[in-house]
Amino acid sequence: MRRLTEPARQYFSQYGILVWIVVVGLVFSLLSRRFLDLHNLLNIVTQSSIIGILSVGMTLVIITGGGGIDLSVGSIVGISSVTMAMLIIPPSYFRDTASMLSLSVTTMTLVKAVGVALLVGTACGAVNGLFISRVGLPPFIATLGMMITARGVAAYVSAGMPTYGMPKPIVFLGQGRIGGIPLPILIMLVLGVIGYFVLTRTVFGASVIAIGGNRETAKLSGIRVKRILLIVYALNGLLAAVAGIVLTGYGNQAHPEAGALSELYAIGAVVVGGTSLMGGKGGIIGSLLGAILMAEVQNGINILNIPVAYMQPALGTLIVLAVMLDQWQKRRVVSE
Question: In this structure, is residue 297 part of a structural domain?
Answer: yes
Residue 147 placed within a domain: yes
Task: Please report whether residue 23 resides in a domain.
Answer: no
% of the chain surpassing 70 pLDDT: 86
What sign does the dihedral 324-133-51-21 (CA atoms) show?
A: negative
Please provide residue 163's backbone torsions phi and psi, each rounded to the nearest 5 degrees. -110, 120
CB 85 within 8 A of CB 158: yes
Q: Per the structure, how many domains does the chain have?
A: 1
Instruction: Answer yes or no: pTM beyond 0.85.
Output: yes
The domain in which residue 164 lies consists of 46-330
pLDDT at position 193 is 97
Nearest to 248, CA basis, from 235, 257, 261: 257
pLDDT tens per residue across span 290-301: 999 999 988 998
Q: Is residue 185 part of a domain?
A: yes
d(CA 246, CA 53): 10
- So what's the pLDDT on residue 329? 61
In a domain, residue 30? The reply is: no
**Residues in CB range of 34: below 8 A, 6 or more apart:** 40, 303
Q: What is the pLDDT of residue 226?
A: 95
pLDDT at 145: 96
In a domain, 24, yes or no: no
What pLDDT was estimated at residue 93?
44
In the three-class reduction of DSSP (H, G, I as helix; E, B as strand; rest coil), residue 288 is classed as: helix
Residues with Cβ within 8 Å of residue 297, at least 6 apart in sequence: 24, 311, 314, 315, 318
Low-confidence ranges of the chain (pLDDT < 70): 1-15, 90-106, 322-323, 325-336
Within-domain flag for 97: yes
What's residue 90's pLDDT? 65
- Whether 12 maps to a domain, the answer reads no
